[in-house]
A = this chain, B = another copy of it.
Amino acid sequence: MQSLARLLEGQHRDLRRRILTLLSERRFAASPGLPREEYRELVLKWCRALAREGLGGLGYPAEFGGQGDPAAGIVAFQTIAFHDLSLVVKFGVQFGLFGGAIANLGTERHHVRYLPKVASLALPGCFAMTETGHGSNVRDIRTTARYDPKSRGFVVHTPNAEDRKDYIGNAALHGRTAVVFAQLEVDGERHGVHALVVPIRDARGNPRPGVRIEDCGDKLGLNGVDNGRIRFDHVRVPRTALLNRFGDVGPDGTYSSPIPDPSKRFFTMLGTLVQGRVSIAAASVSASQSALAIAVRYGLRRRQFGPPGGEEVLLLDYRTHQRRLLPAVAATYAMHFGVEQLIADYARAQTASKDQGKARRQLEGFAAGLKAAATWHATETIQMCREACGGQGYLAVNRLAALKADTEVFTTFEGDNTVLMLLLARSLLTDYRVQFEDMDWVKTSRYLAGRVLSSLQEATPAGAFLDVLFQAVPGRGEGTDVRRREVHLEAFRFREQHLLAGLGRRIKRVLDEGVGSYEAFERHGDHAVAAARAHVDLMLLERFSQVAERARGERLKDTLGTLCDLFALSRIERDRGWFQEHGFLSGGRSKEVVKAVGELCAELRPKAGDLVAAFGIPDAVLAAPITVQG
């Protein structure tokens, strides 16, 4: 299945191959069980090696030592994620977050001064946003940056213990400089969260005066990354330390910004987080692929139990085993193509000549949603792969332990998943709402219902779905082939639109009772998360189905089609309670879905080895002895 492998490699094939060849070298060999301090130094050494190969600044403008290819930067991150995940996080902190903040929030003076040194790792840095008391709630951070007109500089300060910067990668040991997010104050007036470049250590590595640094200590995973806490005691930096693309303070103390609306300005600055979310989504897919490659290959080697007197049976020949692994393989393919599209969308937005409000908001929504979906998927998939490898999967040497422990925090960082899904739901509602200037929720939901109806009518000539839509009639629609792609797409669309319309209607009802909009939204948080998940599923299915249709060659088309069906049906299966409640599935049809998932797994069973081989992870990088012995 070379064609499948080629398809997965996508546009940046040469870059991927170059990185994988590099990571296969002996000097990148994993050493599980290394003491923490040695591990941290090894990861720094690996990072330097990657920087020497020019992989650090791929996304930065060419004039500042980069290649001006934002997509390449993320593909590099995604590919490195097949290897040690502390490495990829350290890499991301330095080149993505620290460097990315300078590139995106700074102006030429910062680019010239810092980016080449960031890209070469001559200047190791931190991205100091999160505070102990304010995790995902960046708007309410409490670190201040007060403009002092006398010295014409800023004073960066941490008011209280819980306002210290926390969990900052690269802070405990290696970082020399930090991009610090703080509430900007000029002449007693607050202008919201801004970022400044603040040196935190001197050339000998000691904390600078007024800077107190603490080590976060051992973590569940990612112990090759030196996370730390930073506290500032009236630390002075020059006026030019402010990353001033979206807000500046003149020498006379005048604040100015190209974005007058403070809320819009805040969200624009936070837009720099999008790159991080795209990257984490991509890395999660890589980690899921590593885990599945290990578990499927083990399942194709290991025998256990069997008929009396007969040979023991291969694990992957057990239906229970196929049922666990193969839907996860299919979903991982869906996520892979989804991430590929997200990277392309992101790169397009980065290089667009001007900012397009709605497109940007949609990109941010998709990034938030796919980050959450892909990291939840990774957590679940790696857990399942560990169990599918039994005790062998629990041994450090077989990689799954590290994959599990390291990726586990992905659901939290770069924005907690639940928070991100709520963000996406809000954004989706806004998209619909803007079409109704009076923001009338009832109208919105009627409009949505209308859209559902018309799209169903288009899809089904006789409008047979209409009945099904409003009334659960057992037996109706049973004749439909449960494996028809249009039915899957309709099901996904129906669910997304129904959930969104319902959400809008419910919030409207609460608002009408005089409840504030924050609480109104909160009351239906679960509904909102469900709507957001349904939206991401739909995006993934639309994309996967497109990829499958456009594929060249019958065999490839066929394999992708089967995978796509399995993805769609296993999602419908999982949510079949909802689909039945809302009249999309009758009980009989629902049972057919369950049966079809089992059949698709059996169909894909002979291809299982090829399906994970196509992920293209070299043995030296996968580095799990159970895939070959034990």
Chain A interface residues (CB < 8 Å from chain B)? 32-33, 35-36, 130, 132, 134-137, 140, 166-167, 216-221, 304-308, 310, 312-313, 318-320, 323, 379, 383, 386-387, 390-391, 393-397, 400-401, 404-405, 408-409, 411-413, 416-419, 422, 471-472, 474, 516, 518-519, 522-526, 529, 573, 575-577, 579-583, 586-588, 590-591, 594, 598, 630
Contacts and interface: CB of A to CB of B under 8 A. Distances in A.
A217 B580 CA distance: 49
Contact of A318 (B405, B417, B522, B577): B522
A312 B137 CA distance: 10
A387 B320 contact: no
Nearest to A324: B418
A575 B576 CA distance: 9
A404 B406 CA distance: 12
B395 A219 contact: yes
Nearest to A518: B307
Contact of A397 (B217, B387, B393, B598): B217
Given A318-B522, A394-B408, A404-B220, A305 B137 contact: yes
Contacts of A416: 387, 390
Contacts of A32: 217-218
Contacts of A130: 391
Name the 6 nearest CB pairs between A and B, nearest first: A220-B401, A218-B396, A576-B577, A33-B218, A577-B577, A307-B518
Nearest to A413: B391
A16 B468 CA distance: 57
A132 B630 contact: yes
Contacts of A529: 320
B405 A220 contact: yes
Contacts of A313: 522
Contact of A525 (B320, B472, B525): B320
23 contacts: A33-B36, A33-B217, A134-B304, A217-B395, A218-B395, A218-B396, A219-B396, A220-B394, A308-B518, A310-B518, A318-B525, A319-B523, A319-B524, A383-B408, A391-B409, A393-B412, A472-B474, A526-B598, A573-B577, A576-B580, A580-B587, A581-B587, A581-B590
Contacts of A387: 411-412, 416-417
Contacts of A412: 387, 390-391, 393-394
Contacts of A573: 577
Given A35-B35, A137-B304, A580-B581, 8 more contacts: A32-B218, A217-B396, A219-B394, A318-B522, A379-B383, A401-B405, A576-B577, A580-B590
A290 to B, nearest CB: 15
A579 B576 CA distance: 10
Nearest to A523: B319
Contacts of A393: 412
Nearest to A404: B220
Contact of A136 (B219, B304, B379): B304
Contacts of A312: 137, 140
Nearest to A601: B526
A31 to B, nearest CB: 10
Contact of A390 (B135, B220, B304, B588): B135
A374 to B, nearest CB: 15
Contacts of A417: 387
A418 B522 contact: no
A387 to B, nearest CB: 5
Given A218-B33, A396-B217, A525-B318, A408 B418 contact: no
B220 A472 contact: no
Contacts of A471: 474
Contacts of A583: 587
Contacts of A216: 395
A167 B391 contact: yes
Contacts of A137: 304-305, 312
A134 B132 CA distance: 48
Given A391-B166, A396-B217, A319 B135 contact: no
Contact of A582 (B408, B587, B598): B587
A182 to B, nearest CB: 19
A513 to B, nearest CB: 15
Contacts of A219: 394-396, 401
Contact of A590 (B516, B518, B577): B577
A344 to B, nearest CB: 30
A216 B630 CA distance: 12
A136 B389 CA distance: 12
A132 B298 CA distance: 13
Contacts of A522: 313, 318-319
A198 to B, nearest CB: 22
A221 B401 CA distance: 8
A36 B400 CA distance: 19
B220 A307 contact: no
Given A218-B396, A219-B396, A418 B320 contact: yes
A518 to B, nearest CB: 4
Contacts of A581: 576, 580, 587-588, 590-591, 594
A217 B397 CA distance: 8
A471 B320 CA distance: 29
B218 A519 contact: no
Given A308-B518, A591-B581, A319 B391 contact: no
Nearest to A417: B387
Given A580-B577, A630-B132, A307 B519 contact: yes
A405 B418 CA distance: 23
Nearest to A386: B408
A225 to B, nearest CB: 11
A305 B575 CA distance: 30
A475 to B, nearest CB: 9
